[in-house]
Structure 1
Amino acid sequence: AAVLTKPDSRRGRSNKLIQPAVKQFASQHHIPVWQPNRLKDIISDIKNITPRPTGVLVSYGKIIPQTIIDLFHPGIINVHPSLLPKYRGPSPIESAIANRDKITGVTIMQLEQAMDAGPIYYQEAYPLDFTETQPELYQTLGQLGAQLLMQKLPDIISGILQPTPQDDSRATYCSLLSKNDSRLDPQQLTADQAEAKIRAHLTYPRSRLKIGQYDLIITKACITQKPETPLDIKCADGNYLSISEVIAPSGKTISANAFLRGYPLQR
């Protein structure tokens, strides 16, 4: 067995070299770690594993060539946090929250070179109640995916569980998020949409809104029909996004009331 992950990368102002979390875990458990710059550099290492290995892929972030997939039996198994073919792509969790879906889930699938298009071994739905945040749902679906993988992997390897092709005609796609996605535009969004976007982008790229002279990161809000404070922002549907928590110019996360006491708004 071995763990394959990306090379260590430099982060932060100190430009410190950081190991991927999965590498740290593997090293603690004496599991070999491979960090190739090019996947083709480890083809011989994979071929040297006997019996022929089974691959499991989670959040690797790169397209895997078919020549690599074919080295594994019965291929590479992927855990994807949506009910495929809905939300193929890199941001299914954020998309489910932002679109106010009533249900999402986890898919155990066989990897193909085309993005998230492989046949499906198993799916399990997970209901949403419009309070989930990005980090909470990552944690929840990550745990669910790990449990399902451990349950289903023996039958996948033995061939008892066979995959079913996806219906490509029902496929939808989500894109990679960037800092450009952080700006909230209340004139274009309903209050429901703005509040959902705040929860969906809580960790990254976050949600920014210019209020008075301040460019604020909004971390928590609700919807109201009448404005009560300067932090109640009118949206496209006539309802108001009532901001209850922000990251202040000081960098601290504070309540809306604390912000208004400490940072008077210019009119």
Structure 2
Amino acid sequence: MNETLPPILFFGTEQFSLPSLKALVEAGFPVVGVITKPDSKKGRGQRLQPPAVKVYAEQQAIPVWQPHKLSEMLPQLTALAQKGPIAGVLVSYGNIITPDILSLFTPGIINMHPSLLPSYRGPSPMEAALLNGDAQTGISLMLLDRRMDAGPIYAQKSMPLTGLETKPQLYDTCANEGAQFLTQQLPAILHGELQPVPQHETEASYCSLLSKQDMPLRPDTHTAEELERKIRAHQGFPKTTTTVLGQRIIILAATVATEPPQNPSPLDIPCKNGTWLHITRLIAENGKQMDSESFLRGYAR
């Protein structure tokens, strides 16, 4: 990698961040530190688990900082910036970057966002693309500013959607494609050869943070097509749930029908506008994953 590039601080926390950090390191970019969120409790045992980027950075002997608030690091970052220009790269960090922090970086902090901005500003752009049945999504490299996902854009890459992707699959695709796109475009950005272009504010759309309140199926207010998209978009978290034969199930996959089935089973759900959703794969209340036939054999008595 070109030795004239400035040192880079990487901001990231989620599993989605890891491919970008790996790609930068493996391509020889001068990553001098990783800033991530503190270890968090996960799983049934609620044991403290480090972010994936922390584990990888320590394996590569890259210093790691885990401030509860980024303002705690202002003196350290200021001292670092006084030694010479320093660049920032941010991928799914999860903490607010204040203007006094942003001003320390040259040309600023470069953010990789998994949507074709200004579409889907916010925390759930990949889920929004699946929920809305979009024919494409993409990656945007933007200059971070104080407004949410509203900074000027350096470069974008479109990615077609088949209408069959699940959330985990799309996360993996965007993380890996985004990592490669980042490493391809970053030298030109840091050398000033690629200048950012302001977003079109009139075309902006937004997505919200998903929560457990989004879990219920709600077939009375949604068509079967909308619910099939929701099942794919909510896999992993927050999941999609309903109650069948007295069992609260998590729906993993379903198909859509515009006509009532000849012999409907408890897993054939009537939905809005006369459409039908047939649940094909699920997790039962006992935690076991199974297909529809296995569920009906065990519970339809």
Could you tell me which runs of 5 or more consecutive residues in structure 2 were left unpaired when the two chains were aligned.
1-31
Q: TM-score, normalised by structure 1?
A: 0.96
Counterpart residue type for residue 177 of structure 2: L
Q: How does 1:246-257 map to 2 (within 5 A)?
A: 246-257=282-293
Residue 89 of structure 1 is matched in structure 2 by 122
1:262 aligns with 2:298: yes
Residue 98 of structure 1 is matched in structure 2 by 131
Q: How does 1:1-267 map to 2 (within 5 A)?
A: 1-49=32-80, 50-224=83-257, 225-227=259-261, 228-264=264-300
Q: Work out the CA distance in 2 between the residues paired with 1:262 and 1:181.
A: 28
Provide the secondary structure at the position in 2 that maps to 1:218: strand
Following superposition, the deviation at residue 209 of structure 1 comes to 1.0
Per-residue deviation, residues 46-100 of structure 1 (Å, max 9, x unmatched): 2333432110111111221011011111000000000000000000000000111
Residue 8 of structure 2 is matched in structure 1 by none
Q: Work out the CA distance in 2 between the residues paired with 1:105 and 1:212.
A: 41
Equivalent pair of 1:97/1:130 in contact (CA under 8 Å): yes
Following superposition, the deviation at residue 129 of structure 1 comes to 1.3
Aligned length: 265
Equivalent pair of 1:187/1:236 in contact (CA under 8 Å): yes
Counterpart residue type for residue 123 of structure 1: Q
Structure 1 moving runs of 4+ over 6 Å: none
How many percent of aligned residue pairs carry the same amino acid?
49
Counterpart residue type for residue 194 of structure 1: L
Equivalent pair of 1:63/1:115 in contact (CA under 8 Å): no
Following superposition, the deviation at residue 39 of structure 1 comes to 1.1
Q: Work out the CA distance in 1 between the residues paired with 2:42 and 2:246.
A: 31
Provide the secondary structure at the position in 2 that maps to 1:105: strand
Counterpart residue type for residue 59 of structure 2: Q
Q: Work out the CA distance in 1 between the residues paired with 2:85 and 2:73.
A: 15
Per-residue deviation, residues 203-251 of structure 1 (Å, max 9, x unmatched): 1000001223111110000112232422111110212101000101110
Counterpart residue type for residue 34 of structure 2: V
Could you tell me which runs of 5 or more consecutive residues in structure 1 were left unpaired when the two chains were aligned.
none
Q: Tell me the C-alpha RMSD between the 2 structures.
A: 1.1
Q: TM-score, normalised by structure 2?
A: 0.86
Per-residue deviation, residues 167-207 of structure 1 (Å, max 9, x unmatched): 11111110000000011111111110000000000110000
